[in-house]
Structure 1
Amino acid sequence: MDTRDAQRPLRPGEYPDREMPDEPGLGRWIKRNPWLLTRLFMVIVFSFGATATAANFSYGLEINPIPLSVEQINSGELPPEAELEDFVEITGTPDYGEDTRRIGTEESSIGFVQRYSANYFYFGLEETEDNLLIQSAQTPPDVTDESERVWRGKLSNVGTVIFHDTTRDGLKNAGLTTNQSVPIIETGDTPNYYRQIFPAYSTILGLWVLSLAWLVWKRNKPFLDE
């Protein structure tokens, strides 16, 4: 018996196996656009770098620090024009403890925080007591100099400072305040430092712009055909 042409009758909406239409879907779109997605991924990566770079680039352009007064700090206020990550300054006398040989203890009143290869030191000012902290990076403060001076740097606070949890423990061990709203002046973070590495920042921003242009121009064209 000849069964070569025998097959089940097709139901409404069914197609022969060889004529089955392609089903739309995300997976099929991804397979059709691998190079577009690759370029889009590169744009996203450079966008993250450009976001952080833009903030540092902007900070590096600041020249004149915003002055903070002792009265404002002790009343829990900041100048209206001062915001976190601004370049600020204050005049005051460092408030070290009785035994500065034991940095990181309550006797020294100098907080010590170490993370990876970075060292940070924290202390207060006599004029502002627990209402403000000074941060110095890498090298400990000169405890032999207890004269009044001007402290300049980037404005942050206990809640936003780098290595937040570790810093809080270091401040607590030194008997310093752990109130998250207390301002901190990061003296090692000045606009001059960022101006020195402007070429590197310019390179990152340039690569981000190029990645955008490459995405718009080539889209889904394979790399080897370029």
Structure 2
Amino acid sequence: MKNNRKTVQEHAVSPVVGVMLMLVVTIIIAAVVSAFAGGMGSGAQKAPQASIEVKIDSAADNTMGSSSTVMTFTELSGDPIQTKDLAIITYYKNKAGKTYKNKQTITSPATVLYSYHTNTPTRVPFLNDMRSGYNYDNPATMDFGNFTWKTGGILSTGTTAGTASLLAINSTAIPATIADNDFGPGSIVDVKILHIPSGQYIFNKEVIVQ
């Protein structure tokens, strides 16, 4: 009788040990998965939050007795944004169905904005801050990709040549002009601002030329 009871007790312990082992393994796996997911989440960069206004004015005063087509980007409120982390993507289709696309980044070429300043090209949109002087005299630190965009900051293409360059609809003239005769008031340009590190758009709207 004594031996029989011991045998029954030993058999009863085995399923309990098995369940405990399975429970421990499950807990360990859950902990590993949670730690891995947490590591991935913390490593992903978040896109800055900002309210942005984009305008295209086909009759902007160029202070020289005539007008220019100028594109401006204003951060109304939000986080400071490193422009080196941005790509401005534009898309425009004219009445004939011809499409113009461009992706402006810190590696994009600079543009000659004024015929009388061909030796000082600017990568648009530059930071339009008169404290640094007129845009054709601005240091390279004002070029797109070289500065931090803060609330109240206005980025500008400066001239028709700058706008033509940003939208990739420029002519071969120096400085470049808008080659598309259909482009003007009422034209629609799809404008996106991509935050490259996060892969998220911080601006994505259709802009009507005024």
TM over 0.5: no
Structure showing the higher strand proportion among its residues: 2
TM bucket (normalised to shorter chain) is under 0.3
TM-score under structure 2 normalisation? 0.24
Structure showing the higher helix proportion among its residues: 1
